[in-house]
């Protein structure tokens, strides 16, 4: 049975992350699909996921996915690399025949393997993402000629969440990127959805002479393609009001939403873990 027979195109798209990083994904999807309603869940109570155990990441992800399914989502985006690399199998089983499920790793893998000029690529991400080694495994499965060097950059997500001073952020970014593992790379994967928020700091280090792979560039068109395939795409109609939930309300997160959604977003605190 096709999803079209189970779902209504007017149902929303669910997106979740541990914090503000997923807003980069939500923004990209809303730009590509302006008529679609988004339900976003930021697990601010447990951020960042990158320093949590695999069992905890899976537990949090399953709880949020259940919440989004109860909201009738026709598609769910795991807008977190740590969750995408750790909990994908469990969430695939949980959402089977219930909705479309998209992670933020595969769109980047597809873009990389389609680019013949890439021979040596770096990956920066949280400890959980780098420990899972998902990027290297998936790239090597399709392109043996690409050398992959991965580096855990655990401080970056927290610095972004906390709005640390930009000059201090630049020093931390420079310290990470100067690591021997990332020397002589052709391109760099931003393996955390928070990192697009510091794109300029990364480009500063490389004097703008680096190819950056950022999932925000690919996630919107991919979502459109998936919805169209299942006849679940809203082609026309009024722009729907989005719903944004967090597990722990913070004024910082409220302010961050304005960077991506200038019209007023009212955050709702929802304790789904008790």
Residues annotated as part of the active site: 80, 192
The sign of the dihedral angle between the CA atoms of 50, 142, 196, 75 is: negative
Which residue in this structure is represented by tokens 């068109």?
A: 221
Buried b (16+ CB within 10 A) or exposed e, 163-183: eeeeeebbebbeebbeeeebe
HSE (side-chain half, CA atoms, 13 Å) at 111: 20
E strand map for the chain: 13-17, 38-42, 75-78, 100-103, 120-125, 147-152, 187-191, 211-213, 243-246, 267-269
**Rounded to whole angstroms, what are the CA distances from 67 to 5, 122, 140, 243?**
22, 35, 35, 13
Cα separation, 218 vs 213, whole angstroms? 9
| DSSP code at position 22 | H
């Amino acid at each position: 049975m096709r999803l079209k027979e189970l779902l209504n195109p007017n149902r929303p798209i669910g997106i979740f992350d541990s914090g503000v990083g997923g807003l980069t994904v939500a923004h990209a999807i809303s730009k590509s699909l302006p008529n679609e309603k988004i339900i976003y869940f930021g697990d601010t109570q447990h951020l960042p996921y990158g320093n949590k155990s695999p069992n905890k990441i899976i537990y949090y992800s399953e709880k949020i996915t259940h919440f989004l399914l109860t909201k009738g989502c026709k598609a769910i985006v795991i807008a977190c690399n740590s969750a995408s690399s750790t909990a994908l199998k469990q969430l695939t089983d949980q959402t089977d025949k219930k909705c479309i499920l998209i992670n933020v790793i595969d769109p980047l893998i597809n873009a990389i393997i389609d680019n013949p000029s890439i021979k040596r690529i770096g990956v920066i991400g949280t400890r959980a993402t780098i420990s899972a080694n998902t990027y290297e495994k998936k790239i090597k499965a399709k392109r043996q000629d690409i050398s992959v060097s991965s580096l855990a950059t655990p401080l970056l997500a927290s610095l972004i969440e906390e709005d640390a001073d930009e000059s201090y952020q630049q020093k931390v970014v420079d310290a990470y990127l100067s690591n021997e593992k990332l020397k002589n790379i052709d391109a760099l994967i931003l393996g955390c959805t928070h990192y697009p928020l510091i794109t300029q700091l990364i480009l500063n280090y490389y004097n703008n002479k680096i190819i950056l792979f950022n999932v925000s560039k690919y996630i919107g068109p991919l979502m459109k393609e998936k919805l169209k395939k299942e006849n679940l795409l809203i082609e026309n109609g009024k722009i729907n009001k989005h719903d944004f939930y967090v597990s722990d309300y913070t004024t910082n997160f409220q302010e961050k939403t304005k960077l991506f959604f200038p019209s007023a977003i009212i955050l709702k605190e929802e304790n789904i873990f008790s």
